[in-house]
Amino acid sequence: MISLCTLSSFILFLLLACTYTPENIEKEIYLDKAEIGIISQKGDTSYALEIPNNENFKLFIKTSPREFKDSLEYSWFKKDSLLSNKSVFSYTHKKSLIPDSVTLNDKFGNALGLSFKIILNSPPKITKILSPAEGDTLIGDQNTPFLFSWNAFDADGDTLQFFIEKDSILFPVGMWDYAHLTHFSEGSHKFRIIANDLYNSADTSLWIHFYVKEQ
């Protein structure tokens, strides 16, 4: 014969066993992602590690989850030389050293290394509009292909992509520094050139005004 007390205790045990939910188990959280970002002199943030040459910039690490950000130790390196232990690396262009890797250490001694390359990009420069010159009069009609040509260079040697804006219409020119355009009505017109480098740094020439006169 089971006593009422023993049976009640057994039922209580079963109830507890079926309804128990574990509490206070520390969740293991891992650093999912760490990404190098760049803050330009103007304060713009980008994750494309390209910055205009001769400008100051700052490097930072975006961590996911975000809560890791303040609990990590940072070591910025150039090859094997330690440059800084700050979470944000500041570069002033008078100093020649730019880090190429960063190591993140947590309080348990785990380390994550990230290698990267900062590209100091010189923007392209349109140096001269060869033809037509400002104020030129071009003789022809709607079917006459007029030659537009210019000089440009890029200090980094990037292949440049050009656009020519004829009045308010933008035409792609590709890598050539000249183009023949047609369909000009008699009267005043203007054009300008836009040069883009591989990193979308651009230079835009001034508008050149010219006049088309029919024969």
Partner 1 sequence: MKFLFLCLLFLLSSCIDSDAVLSENESEKIKVNAFIFNDNASNLKDTTIALKDTVFLIGNILPERGTHIQKYFWKDPNNNIFKEFQIKFKPTKPGNFVYHFTIVDFHGDSLSDSVQINVSTPPVLDSIHWLPENNSSRLSPDSVFFSWNASDKDNDNLFYIFEIFENNKKIIDTLLSTTCIKPDLKFKELETYEWKVTVFDSEGIQGNTIHSEFATGHSKGLARLSGKINIFPDSLLKKVKLYLVQNDSSKELTLNDSLFDTGFINSGAYTLRANVMTFSDYQSHEQTYHLKPGDLKDNINFLLEDNKAPSFPTLKSDTLPYVSQLIFPIENHGIQLDSQNISLTLDNEPLQFSLSNDTLSIELPKYNLPICRFLSLTVKDINNNSISQTFYLCKESAWATPLYDTTLNQQDTLNISFYETNPYHLELKDIIWSSKENPAWTFTQTKSDSSITIYASLFSVGKYTIEALSRYENGLELQNQFILEVKE
Rg of the chain's alpha carbons, rounded to an integer?
A: 32
Is 155 one of the binding residues for partner 1 (CB under 8 A)?
yes
Is 51:57 a contact under the CB 8 Å cutoff?
yes
Query: Is 153 exposed, middle or buried, given 0-12, 13-18 or 19+ CB atoms closer than 10 A?
Result: middle
What is the DSSP track for 18-60?
Answer: HH----SPPPP----EEEEEEE-TT--EESS-EEETT--EEEE
Q: Which of 86, 178, 200, 214 binds partner 1 (CB under 8 A)?
A: 178
Find the distance separating the first CA and the last CA of the chain, reported in whole Å: 124
Query: 172 — phi, psi (to 5°)?
Result: -75, 135
Q: Which of 182, 185, 188, 204 binds partner 1 (CB under 8 A)?
A: 182
Nearer to partner 1, 61 or 179 (CB): 179
Q: How far is the CB of 190 from partner 1 (least distance, A)?
A: 17
Nearer to partner 1, 17 or 25 (CB): 17
Is 207 one of the binding residues for partner 1 (CB under 8 A)?
no
Q: Which of 81, 143, 168, 215 binds partner 1 (CB under 8 A)?
A: 143
User: Interface with partner 1 by CB under 8 A: which residues?
Assistant: 4, 7-8, 10-11, 14-15, 17-18, 127-128, 130-131, 143-145, 147, 149, 151, 153, 155, 169-183
